[in-house]
Amino acid sequence: MKLKTKNLILFPTKNMNFRNWEKVGMLSREIAPYNLLAKHFKNIFIFTYAGPEELKYQKFLSPNIKIICKNVKMPIWLYYWLAPLFHLPTIFRSHFLKTNQMRGAKTALIAKFFNPFAKLIIRTGFTQSLFDKKENPARLKKTKRLEKWAYRLCDHAFITSLADRDYILKEYKIPENKISVIPNYIDTEVFKPEDVKKFDNRVLFIGKIHPQKNLPALVESLSNTGLALDVIGREDKENKLTEELVKLASKENAIVNFLGAVPNYELPKIINKYKIFVLPSLYEGMPKTLLEAMSCGLACIATDIPGSREVIKNGVNGLLAAASPESLKENILKLINNPELQRNLGETARQFILKNFSLSTQIQKEIAAYWRLL
C-alpha cells in the first residue's frame, strides 16, 4: 500500500501533447500505460506544454490522473524551462519525476532541483545521442551533455534495449543497478491475429519515410520480382524521399504503393491483411512497428542491427537480413515461396510478444522498479 500513497509526474517532450497525440492517431497508445499505472499511485500528473484546451482529454484518463497544462502566455521554449516554477505545489508533493524521452529531461531536472527528495526517473524510447550521430552530428555534443547529467543525476533509468543499456553504461560511467531494461510495450489485445483474407505477393513496411529506414534498398530488393511493397508512414519533413523512391521504383521495375500515414488504432486491421512485414532499417532503438507486426502474427524480416536482433531470433520467430538489397531480396523470396515457414514464424512471433512485450508485463517491471526506490 505504500506506493499507493505516492504521486508521480510525467514530463513529455515539449513538442508533444494530447492534441498532437490525437492528431497522429497515438492518443490511446500513449495514455494506456498511465491508466494502468494509476492503479498503483495516489495521483499521476501529466505535464503538457499546450494550454487549457488540453483539459478536454481528461475524460480519457483515470480519475486520479491530472493534466497540468500551460497556464501562462509565453513561448513554449521558455515555458519548457520555467514550467516547474509555475507548478511548485505539484512539484513539492510529488515523489517520482519521470521523463517520456530525453528531450523532456531538462524540465524534469529543474523539477528535481526544487524537490531533491523526489526520485528522478529517466525513461527513453531510444538513445538520442546514437540517433544524432547518424542524423544530426552538429547537435551531438549538446545531446551528450544532457544525457551525461540526466543519467548521473537521476535515481533510475528505464531503457528499451540491451544495446542502449551497454552504450549508456560505457559512455556515462553509471552503476549498472541504476538501469532497468523495459522494452516498448504492445497492447496485445489490440494488435492480435485476425482471421481475414490476406494479400498474396505483397509485403508491408510501416514507419517514417526517412534515410534511417533504408527504403531504397527495400525498393531495389523487389526489382523484377512482381511483388508489391506497400509503405505506410509520413514523409520526414527534412528529407523529401518519396519522389526519389518513386523514380527508383520505376527504374528498378519495382511495384511500390505509398499509402500515407495511418492512425495507430487503425493499424491492426491493416497489418492483418498481410503475411510478410519488412523493416530494413540501418539503425533502431526498439522498433514498435516490428513488435506490432509480430504481435499480429506476421512473418517478419528485419535487418541484423541492435534493437531488432534483440527481438528476432533468426529462423525462430522471424528472419534477420543484411541491409543490402541482395540480402533483403533473398529473405523475402525465402518467405514468399514458403507458406509453412510464414505460418511457423508468425505463430512463434505472436507467442514471443505475449510473453515479453505485453503492456501488463512491462507495467509490472516498471512498478517493481518504483518499489525498489521507496
pLDDT digits (tens, 9 = 90+) for 119-164: 999 999 999 999 999 999 999 999 999 999 999 999 999 999 999 9
The residue with cell 518467405 is 335
What does the DSSP assignment read for 184-245? PPB-TTTS--------SSEEEEES-BSGGG-HHHHHHHTTTT--EEEEESPBPTT---HHHH
pLDDT of amino acid 93: 95
Q: pLDDT confidence of 48, banded at 50, 70, 90?
A: very high
For residue 188, pLDDT over 90 is answered with yes
Q: Pick 239 or 172 by higher pLDDT.
A: 172
Percent of the chain whose predicted confidence (pLDDT) is above 70: 99
pLDDT of residue 362: 92
For residue 264, give the DSSP letter.
G
The answer to whether 42 and 27 have CB atoms below 8 angstroms apart is: no
Q: Which residues share a beta bridge with 255?
A: 228
For residues 292-297, average pLDDT: 98
Residue corresponding to grid cell 499546450 = 50
Average pLDDT, the chain: 94
pLDDT at 24 > cutoff 90: no
User: For helices 128-135 and 162-172, what crossing angle results, to 10°?
Assistant: 90
pLDDT at residue 265 tops 70: yes
pLDDT of residue 35: 95
Predicted confidence at residue 103, as pLDDT, reads 86
Q: Which CATH superfamily hosts domain 202-356?
A: Glycogen Phosphorylase B; (3.40.50.2000)
- Looking up cell 513554449, which residue turns up? 76
Supply the pLDDT for residue 15: 79
pLDDT computed for residue 143 by the predictor:
95
Q: pLDDT band at 224, cuts 50/70/90?
A: very high
Task: Provide the CB-side half-sphere exposure for 283 (13 A, CA).
Answer: 14
Task: Locate 191 and state its grid cell.
Answer: 494488435
**pLDDT mean over 204-230:** 97
DSSP H stretches of helix in the chain: 18-23, 27-37, 76-86, 88-92, 105-114, 128-135, 137-153, 162-172, 215-221, 242-252, 267-271, 288-295, 308-311, 325-336, 339-356, 359-373
Class of domain 3-185+358-373: alpha beta
Q: Which residue has the cell 531470433?
A: 313
C-alpha cell at 42: 495516489
In the chain, % of residues over pLDDT 90: 89
Section 238-266 average pLDDT = 92
Alpha-carbon gap, residue 6 to 204, rounded angstroms: 44
Question: 134 with 212: CB under 8 angstroms?
Answer: yes
Rounded to two decimals, the pTM is: 0.90
Q: With 80 as the cut, is the pLDDT of residue 239 above it? A: no
The sign of the torsion formed by the CA atoms of 47, 126, 236, 132 equals positive
pLDDT at 301 over 70: yes
Q: How does pLDDT run across 198-210, given as a tens digit for each residue?
A: 999 999 999 999 9
How far from the centroid of its chain's Cα atoms is residue 104's Cα? 15
Q: How confident is the model at residue 104 (pLDDT cuts 50, 70, 90)?
A: confident
3-state secondary structure at position 47: strand
15: left (phi over 0), alpha (psi -120 to 50) or beta: alpha
Low-confidence winner among 81-85, 171-175, 225-229, 232-236 (lowest mean pLDDT): 232-236
Mean pLDDT of 303-314: 96
Q: With 70 as the cut, is the pLDDT of residue 310 above it? A: yes
Radius of gyration of the chain (CA): 21
* pLDDT score, position 1: 63
Per DSSP, the three-state class of 115 is: coil
Task: Please give the pLDDT value at position 16.
Answer: 81
**Identity of the residue numbered 264:** N
Cell of 30: 500513449
Closest CA to 229 of 263, 271, 257, 248: 257
Reply yes or no on whether the pLDDT at 47 is more than 90.
yes
Q: How far apart are CA 337 and CA 275, in angstroms?
A: 12
Residues of the chain with CATH 3.40.50.2000: 3-185+358-373, 202-356
